[in-house]
Amino acid sequence: MYEAADIVEIASIYTALKQRGGKHVGLCPFHHEKTPSFSVDRARKLYHCFGCHQGGDVFRLVMEMERFSFVEALKFLAERYNIELVGGRGNKAASSERKRLIEINALAKGFYQRVLQSPDGREARDFLLKRGVMADSVAALQLGYAPPQWDRLYAHLRREGVPDDLILKAGLSVQRQGAGSSYYDRFRDRVIFPIISEGGEVIAFGGRVLPREAESSAGSPKFINSPETAVYSKGKQFYGLNLTRDQIRKSGDAVIVEGYMDFVLLYQEGVKNCVASLGTSLTRLQVRLLERHGAAGILNFDPDTAGREAVIRSLQTFFEEDVGVRVMSLPDGLDPDEFILQRGLQDYVELIRNAPPGEVFALDSLFSSYAGHDGQRRVGDVTDFLKLCRSISNQIRLELALREASARFGMSIGQLHAEMQKLPQVAGSQAEHPQAVVHLARPSPAEVRLVLFCAAGAENYGAISNSLATTAPALTCASIFQKLGTLAGREGAYDRERIFSVLDSAEAAQLSRILMEHEDAGIPDLAEAKSCVEALRNEAGEAARLQSAVEKAQNDPDQLTVALARKQEYMRKLHAVAK
């Protein structure tokens, strides 16, 4: 498994990588950054971010990004590379709740697809055809149909052996209030759009009501979606990104639409760098996801009031994250799916090409009504634009926006700055689950060499375990040495895969940095390893002696100053060498 898994390929699921020398680099998927500090080493099968210090092997990467256990990551990679697992760890993964939810969603998707192609799905097929969706698109996007019966999917899943609690946790059925164990399907009489992760897993569904159902039931929403589950959070996903990711990276732009049908028809007609937002406005996590794929956003929301308001909210998020964004305006009040069918791909691409930057679009929208407004309403127009400008984190972008506004509104840039400063302060947006920065202490050169020696094999650790026992507890990498010792004693052997499987995030980050920065210098032999142990023992002894001098001088200020200075100078030199 370890040999088969390509860490560059797996890391590319989460961020766009470019080859630089012998490594691949890109924006870190764990934290927000503008300059790439995320490095992937295919030969060593390691990754490390030199900004937030997350690091590890391919299993650790999948574990951190997907929130998997080790055995779940093992199963994920086995399925991706068509490797049959034998033994306990792989079999345990199959029973994990997250994996079971993915499997249940796959069963539901297959059920919906079969119903769509059956006589029961005739009206749904007719609806799709009438909307311009071809059979090839139905197959490519794995569209389906949820029949109108109250519990047909539920009954199907029960026959497949799926327990009630998992059906509920997958969001596929709902329990009736006050009706005991009675359940009904969440999606009924709707065209089904499976939401598929970049890794190819079915994680959720969207359902569009058929027109006759909309006419007969005013209270039935046009679209419903899966609820938040253990495998799905709409604020972290885009519909269709699994199909368009590569083209988005190639083009550097992502056309963002609101609806499933918008995406389906744009994709069908040749717009291969589009996604649907799965909501009425974008979250920071979605904007960061685009940025990691090296893409700016092109907003093409519906031209109604809700769509225009969603554009402004989304612009604010793009501005806060300092990610490029433009806005498309379609003529004649057409939605994206209507425009692409009526006007064709060439006209749509031309509108993409001419889409103005987000701040220019916002200014155009406000200024179009500015001339016809009275004094007070003009003040409101200027204030609305300045509220949006306040979210622009890039100072150059802000100055350009204010310069354009100055020309439009007939106010000086200084006046606009002053008015913007007067606006009430608002609470900053939440960071939305930021990945914690791992703070790594730098081990000394002798300790680095010793880590390389011990990580190379259990026999190496065994050769110096006795002399290391009294020294290791005080070292920067003490917990790594402890876990290597446990593996060596319990299993008699270990490889890199096994080492990373027992390390926590901080330990994996420390080891990955050591390996990526220092392994090219070669693995020490036994003689060098023993000399490193001796050097570490001497370092520890000197540090203890200096600390003792500090403690003895507590009642003598002059002596204490001297003792502290000596200790600080020693530690400074020690860490300077380690850098």
The tens digit of pLDDT for each residue in 160-211 reads 999 999 999 999 999 988 756 689 999 999 999 999 998 899 999 999 999 8
pLDDT of residue 429: 45
Going by pLDDT thresholds of 50, 70 and 90, the confidence category of residue 79 is confident
Mean pLDDT of 208-235: 80
The residues, ordered by sequence, that sit 6+ positions from 120 with a Cβ below 8 Å of its Cβ are 145, 147
Q: What percent of the chain has pLDDT over 90?
A: 59
Closest by Cα among 459, 474, 471 to 526: 459
Tokens (6 digits) for 123: 């009206």
CA–CA separation, 45 and 4 (whole Å) = 10
Which of 333, 266, 337, 265 minimizes the C-alpha distance to 305? Answer: 333
**Per-residue model confidence (pLDDT) at position 375:** 65
Cα–Cα separations (whole angstroms), residue 392 to 323, 356, 384, 389, 422 = 10, 16, 14, 5, 16
pLDDT in tens, 400-437: 999 999 998 888 999 998 999 888 865 544 444 445 56
Does residue 94 have a pLDDT over 50? no
Q: Give, to the nearest 10 degrees, the angle between helix 375-389 and helix 413-422.
A: 80
Please count the CA atoms within 13 angstroms of the CA of 302 that sit on its side-chain side.
17
Confidence at residue 547, expressed as pLDDT on a 0 to 100 scale: 84
Residue 315 and residue 325 in contact, taking contact as beta carbons nearer than 8 Å: yes
Are the CB atoms for 124 and 114 separated by under 8 Å?
Answer: no
Backbone angles phi, psi at 90, to 5 degrees: -70, -40
CB 460 within 8 A of CB 501: no
Q: What amino acid occupies position 532?
A: C
Q: For residue 83, what pLDDT is reported?
A: 82
Please give the Cα distance from 463 to 452 (Å, whole number): 14
The per-residue DSSP string of 317-386 comes to HHHHHT--EEE---GGG--HHHHHHHH-HHHHHHHHHTPPBHHHHHHHHHHHHHTTS-HHHHHHHHHHHH
As a whole number, mean pLDDT of residues 32-36 equals 88
| Cα distance between residue 48 and residue 110, in whole Å | 39
The contacts of residue 285 (CB under 8 Å, 6+ apart) are: 235, 236, 432, 433
Q: Highest mean pLDDT range out of 159-168, 281-290, 368-377?
A: 159-168
Q: 62 or 325: whose pLDDT is higher?
A: 325
Calculate mean pLDDT across residues 363-384.
76
- Per-residue pLDDT tens digits for 64-75: 887 777 877 888
Q: Say which DSSP state 127 is in.
A: H
Tracing tokens 């939440």 back to the chain, one arrives at: 430
**Backbone dihedral angles phi then psi of residue 532, each to the nearest 5 degrees:** -65, -40
212, with CB counted inside 10 A (0-12, 13-18, 19+), is exposed
Work out the average pLDDT over 363-374.
Answer: 71
- The string of pLDDT tens digits covering residues 335-363 is 999 999 999 999 999 999 999 999 999 99
Q: How far is 167 from 174, CA to CA, in rounded Å?
A: 9
Comparing 548 with 91, which gets the higher pLDDT?
548
More confident: 3 or 161? 161
pLDDT at 550: 83
> Is the model's pLDDT at 579 over the cut of 50?
no
What's the pLDDT at 325?
97
Angle between helices 505-518 and 445-455 (to 10 degrees): 100
Which residues lie closer than 8 Å to 253 by C-beta, 6 or more apart? 273, 295, 296, 297, 298, 352
pLDDT in tens, 443-491: 888 999 999 999 999 999 999 999 888 888 878 899 999 999 999 998 8
Rg of the chain (C-alpha set): 29
Q: 240-285, pLDDT tens digit by residue?
A: 999 999 999 999 999 999 999 999 999 999 999 999 998 767 998 8
Phi-psi region of 21 (alpha: psi -120 to 50; beta: other; left: phi over 0): left
Pairing assessment for the beta strands 296-299 and 253-257 based on DSSP bridges: parallel
| Predicted model pTM | 0.72
Which residues, in sequence order, are CB contacts of 152 under 8 Å at separation 6+?
185
Q: Which residue, chain included where needed, has tokens 């990467």?
A: 61
At residue 191, the pLDDT reads 98
Of 65, 44, 478, 528, residue with least CA distance to 285? 65
C-alpha distances in Å from residue 430, one per residue of 426, 427, 436, 537: 12, 9, 14, 47
Question: Which tokens hold the place of 328?
Answer: 């498309």
pLDDT confidence band for 366 (50 / 70 / 90) = confident
Q: Is the dihedral of CA 549, 551, 556, 557 positive or negative?
A: positive
Average pLDDT rounded to a whole number, residues 153-160: 97
Note the pLDDT of residue 90. 41
Higher pLDDT, 95 or 192: 192
Q: What is the pLDDT of residue 529?
A: 94
Contact 461, 491 (CB under 8 A): no
What one-character DSSP code corresponds to residue 516? H
List Cα–Cα distances, 416 to 164, 211, 386, 402, in angstroms.
60, 49, 8, 7
pLDDT exceeds 50 at position 304: yes
| Residue 93: band (very low, low, confident or very high) from pLDDT cuts 50, 70, 90 | very low
The vertex-277 CA angle with 256 and 112, nearest 5°, equals 120
Decide if pLDDT at 321 tops 80: yes
Given a cut of 80, whether residue 143 has pLDDT beyond it is yes
